[in-house]
Amino acid sequence: MAIRSVLGLFNNEDTAADALDALNEAGFDQSEYEVLTGTPYPEGTFGEAEPVHKLYRFPLIGAACGFIVGLLLTSGTQLAFPLVTGGKPILSIPPMAIIMYEGTMLGAILFTVVGIIFESRLPRLLMGAYNTKITEGAIGVAVTTDETKVSQAEDVLRNAGAEDLKRGWETEQNR
């Protein structure tokens, strides 16, 4: 079944919150609607579901990868070319520690950035219903649902006091 989205625009936080309540009452699942804002609000301002993320796993995996790469690079290069310099041991641990440290941090940071993008569900190829007024302070309530329930959602939003209603296409993955 095709997935459609519809966006209602609200001018203040309270009506937007009311709209969310109304959607909830109308039997929409929490995964079917979301608030779009131009600025971060404290969590739960609109009574929306608290987002759950697993971002903290990414830097750990990244750090482990970076550490291993650093270890292999530093010990590997020294063992592959056992050239003596300045009487330092072939496996000089203090310099290895420095480079392994940088490798660990680089791995952690790269994975974190990937994690942020992944957990933010970006990049989003199809914008769906959107309104440029959101970045000017309006609050959007977007409902992403089956084609059959779209008009019902529109009604709920309109009754809650939406200024402007817009429809957009969605892909299955964006639901």
Partner 1 sequence: MQEHIQLDQKQINDDLLSGVLRTPRWWLPAITVALLVFLTGMGAFGYMLNKGVGVTGLNRPVFWGFFMVNFVFWIGISHAGIMISAILRLTQAEWRRPITRAAEVLTVFSLMAALMAAPLVHVGRPWRAGLWVFPYDFARGVWINIRSPFIWDPSAVMTYLTASTLFVLIALLPDLAVIRDRTTGRARVLYSILCLGWRGTPRQWKLQAVAGILLSALVLPVFVSVHSIVSWDFAVQIGTESWHSTIFAPYFIIGAIHSGVSAVATIMVLMVWLWNWDKYLRPDHLDAIGRLLIVVATTWFFFFFVEWIFALYTLEDPEIAMRELQVLQWPWSGLFILFLITAFFFPVPLWLFKKVRRSFFWMFVTTISVNVGMWLERFLIIVPGTMRKQPFVFDWGSYHPSIMEILMVAMTFAWVVIGLLLFARIFPLIPLFDIKEGMVGRDEIKIGRRTVPASIRE
Partner 2 sequence: MSKEKEKWGMVIDVDKCISCQACVVACQSENNIPINSEDIFNQRRAIEWIRVERYWEGEFPDVKARFIPILCQHCGEAPCEPVCPVFATYHNEEGMNVQVYNRCIGTRFCANNCPYHVRYFNFWEPEWPDSLKNQLNPDVTVRSRGIMEKCTFCIQRIRRSKIEASRDGREEVQDEARSINPACVNACPTETLYFGNFNDENSKVSELKKKENGDHGRGYKLLDELGTEPNVIYLKKVDPSAKEEAHA
Partner 3 sequence: MHNGESQNGQANLATPAGINTDLLKRHGNTGKLFRSVLLVTGIMFLVGIVGIVLRLLEDGTENTRVWGYHAAAFAFILTTAQGAVMVAIAPRMAKAHWRRPISRVAEMFAVVGIVNLLMFIPLLSVLPSLEDGRRSLWFYNAADPILSKVPVYTPHIWASLSLIFLVLSGLMLLWVSSLADLATIRDSSSGRKHRFFAWLANGWHGTSKQWFMKYHRIGILGAFYFMMLIFTHFLIATDFDMALIPGWIDALFPITHAANSLQAGCATVIIAMFVLRRFGGYGDWIGLDQFWGLGKLMFALSLLWFWFWFSSFIILWYGSRPNEESVLNLIIRGPYQPAFMAAFILNFIAPLFMMMWNPVRKSIWGPTLVATGILIGTFFDRIRLYVSAYSIPGIGDSSVDKHMLHEIPQTVMPHFIDYMIWVGAIGGSVFVYMLATRIFPIINIWEQKELLLYKFHKKLHRTEVLVLGKPD
Task: Please give the residue ranges that form the binding site for partner 1 (CB under 8 A).
Answer: 34-43, 46, 48, 51, 53, 55-56, 59, 73-74, 77-78, 80-81, 83, 85-86, 88, 92, 95-96, 98-99, 101-103, 105-106, 108-110, 112-113, 116-117, 119-127, 130, 132, 134-137, 140, 142
Are 158 and 26 spatial neighbours (Cβ–Cβ below 8 Å)? no
Site string for partner 2, 74-93 (x = CB under 8 A): -------x-xxxxxx-----
How big is the CA angle at 119 (ends 100 and 65), to the nearest 5 degrees? 20
Instruction: Tell which one of 40, 87, 121, 123 touches partner 3 (CB under 8 A).
Output: 87
Say which entry of partner 1, partner 2, partner 3, none residue 36 contacts (CB below 5 to 8 A, set by partner kind): partner 1
Say which entry of partner 1, partner 3, partner 2, none residue 106 contacts (CB below 5 to 8 A, set by partner kind): partner 1
Are 62 and 110 spatial neighbours (Cβ–Cβ below 8 Å)? yes
What single-letter amino acid sits at 94? Answer: P
SS3 7: strand
Instruction: Tell which one of 1, 25, 39, 43 touches partner 3 (CB under 8 A).
Output: 43
SS3 144: strand
Say which entry of partner 1, partner 3, partner 2, none residue 136 contacts (CB below 5 to 8 A, set by partner kind): partner 1
How big is the CA angle at 45 (ends 134 and 47), to the nearest 5 degrees? 105
CA distances (Å), origin 39, targets 17, 124, 129, 134, 138: 16, 19, 18, 9, 10
Say which entry of partner 2, partner 3, partner 1, none residue 82 contacts (CB below 5 to 8 A, set by partner kind): none
Q: Which residues of 86-106 are buried (b: 16+ CB within 10 A; e: fewer)?
A: eeeeeeeeeebeeebeebbbb
Binding site for partner 2 (CB under 8 A): 81, 83-88
Which residues sit at the interface with partner 3, rule CB under 8 A? 13-14, 17, 42-47, 56, 86-87, 94, 97-98
